[in-house]
Structure 1
Amino acid sequence: LLINHPRDCPICDQAGECRLQEFSVDYGDSKSRFLENKVKKPKNVVLGPRATLDDERCILCSRCIRFCHEIAHDDVLGFVDRGSYTVLTAHPGKRLEN
């Protein structure tokens, strides 16, 4: 989960309340073992009039996709691409309106 995730936690709005931070501290080393360059993902992706996504912070948990499907009954969001290049996006021709 943290291979391509930025490690600059103090600027994150979840700083101090983040389960990823807790898992990293409890189970891992503070340094990354990943030697390759991180995949740069887009920032400020507009999903709708009131929703903007920072793909660098997204851990691809799919909670937002499940919420749209199960609660809002509006299949708007999905993943595209594979592996490290996977990103969350709105389906073509759709916007996150609700």
Structure 2
Amino acid sequence: MSKRRRKFTSEQKFQIVIEAIKGERQISEIAAQYQVHPNQISNWKKQFLEKGATVFNTKADDSKKILEETQEDLFKKIGQQQYEIEWLKKT
């Protein structure tokens, strides 16, 4: 039996990293609470300090781009259909 990988949202990662940065508790204690390996928390903390909060939001940016492209395509189709309807009304 293999374990399934757990996926953490950007908000969860951010919360864990903030707790680690505060330094009120040791990383091993935080890791035990969230059931994450201490090295993973250290990696997230390093990424956060290098790149800021946007490091965990890659999927949100990708989905936003996809939605914008889809919206543009739909507006083009609507415009074309309106043009065709007006042309058919004239004939």
Normalising by structure 2, report the TM-score: 0.23
Higher strand share: 1
Normalising by structure 1, report the TM-score: 0.22
Higher helix share: 2
